Chain A
Amino acid sequence: MTDRFVLLAGLLILSILGFMTLGAEGSWSFLLPFRGAKLAALMLVGCCLATATVLFQTITGNRILTPSVMGFDALYVLVLTALVFGLGAAGYAALPGPLLFSLNMGVMTGAGLLLFALLMRGGRGDMVRLVLTGIVLGLLIRALTTFLQRMIDPSEFQTIQSASFARFTFVDRRLLAATALAALPALALAWRMRFRLDVLALGTEAATGLGEPPRRGQRQALVLICVLVAAATALAGPVSTGFAGPSSFFGLVVVSLAHLVTPSPRHAVLLPSAALIACIVLIGGQTVMERLLHLATPLPVVIELLGGLLFLFLLLRKAHG
């Protein structure tokens, strides 16, 4: 297991080096902070989404789900569309970054927490019902978005199109700090839950028997998921093409890769492994996009193509061998 982590760490360093140095022209006193901020943003977003997906899969006991099934990405795009619809593309572009960030962060955490609070109140925590409700609401949000987008002028649609994909071309350092402020404590709390998550993964009865009734852990995990996804999405935009249907794909691929590369039921292994892989995939994808594709393609598209193919390749090689 250690050698796998050494391998991952090596890959991460390699991708960081590639990202920082490839095509570097001009003075390092400009490049270092500029690319450094992008790098920090990429890694933060990677850790957030990987951790949120691991938590979500554990508490739902379903390895094909990611938190975006609950419509977080869709909510971001709806807010974006509504703003462009109401203010026009120029009005939207004039909005100050921090305001937009707080608005997104507020709407996403607010809606998420409200939903979870309503659903987990009283009675048993029926996770299937929770996920179904999330899917239904996500579809509702998507329908409203499509509806609004149809009434928007094609030239203004361009704004939405480019802003509804995650991008790291320019990172506002104030927002980076704000994101870190929200995300780092949540990541630390998720790490503290690692042993309890192992027990929760055993299933309701076994976990209860071991003195870890699932409801409390589920509730705490949901709050963390909400904060992590909202922070990552508010900083960068959805890391999703929206084409994989309700299950966005980045978290799914990253966690599936982690299961393949470091197979272990322990979250003390799974959490860091998924986070490392997420960082490698994001940084690598961003490097490919900047240097090879010259920014002509949104980052999530690159990630989904490369990450998905990598997963299928590794899995099938394992299945054949």
Chain B
Amino acid sequence: MIEVKGVSHDMRGQAILRDVSLSLPRGGVTALIGPNGAGKSTLLSLIARLQRLQRGRITVDDLTVGACADRDLARLLAIMPQSSAISARLRVGELVGMGRYPWHGGRPGAADHAAVEAALAQFDLTGLRHRFLDEISGGQRQRALVAMACAQGTDYLLLDEPLNNLDIAASRQLMALLRHMARDQGKSIVIVLHDINYAAGFADRVIALAGGRIVADGPPAEVITPGLLRGVFDTDARISVIDGRPVVVV
């Protein structure tokens, strides 16, 4: 379980998060939605200790973020940050292989190779494994980064806008895969999404953030309402319900 208690965060005197508390039990896909600048990415990177916690407390299972050993957390929780500017010049296979580092510390064994192969196959990257990251398309690079996070083989997976650069087929495939991992492998997945329809279509739970606060939290059908769109996103889009899931008509 990820537990966030009373977390506030400032940047240059500007409040990004204000007293956020929430708990995410194991399992399921949780989508974080909200307008630009709501604090979604900051919340995610605080949970994954990419930024230092200023106020409040975050625990993942029995590990306290900021106090536990970094390797232990890396074996429990993987993150794909939004701006994954990888500074080294790597091939796709090498990048995905780096995801296993927390387990083997540099000396990959058979299990690590198998996990990398599985991740490459899952994300349709086997044919691209020998290509450099700067030689493939943006969508392919995005898939490689998600594959790297998956190869890390953690119970918790945090993804910051993984659908960037992906076409509709790849987006649906990725979301379906994540849902499958959550249902059948018991993974807990937290994902920042911009497209509310993907959140509505694939998430088990939706959390809406605005101005650094949680403004709605629950199953998609309860959270994604005309009131939310108007109040939080400042837009008058219509919502219709298809197969029991809300769909925003854009």
Contacts and interface: CB of A to CB of B under 8 A. Distances in A.
Q: Do chains A and B touch in the complex (CB under 8 A)?
A: yes
Interface of A: 61, 124, 194-196, 198-199, 201-206, 208-213, 265-266, 268
Interface of B: 45, 48-50, 52, 69-75, 78-81, 83-90, 94, 98-99, 101-102, 105-107, 149, 152
9 contacts: A124-B52, A198-B106, A201-B88, A205-B81, A205-B84, A209-B79, A211-B71, A211-B73, A212-B71
Contact of B70 (A202, A205, A213): A213
B222 to A, nearest CB: 32
A203 B145 CA distance: 14
Contact of B101 (A205, A212, A265, A266): A212
Given A209-B81, A211-B74, A213-B70, A201 B87 contact: yes
Contacts of A212: 70-71, 74, 101
A210 B152 contact: yes
Contacts of B74: 209-212
Contact of A202 (B45, B48, B80, B87): B87
A266 B87 CA distance: 13
B98 A202 contact: yes
Nearest to B72: A211
Contacts, number: 74
A247 B17 CA distance: 43
Contact of A210 (B88, B90, B101): B101
B84 A196 contact: no
B106 A211 contact: no
Contact of B85 (A203, A265, A268): A203
Nearest to B69: A211
Nearest to B48: A209
A211 B72 CA distance: 7
Contacts of A208: 48-50, 70
Contacts of B78: 209
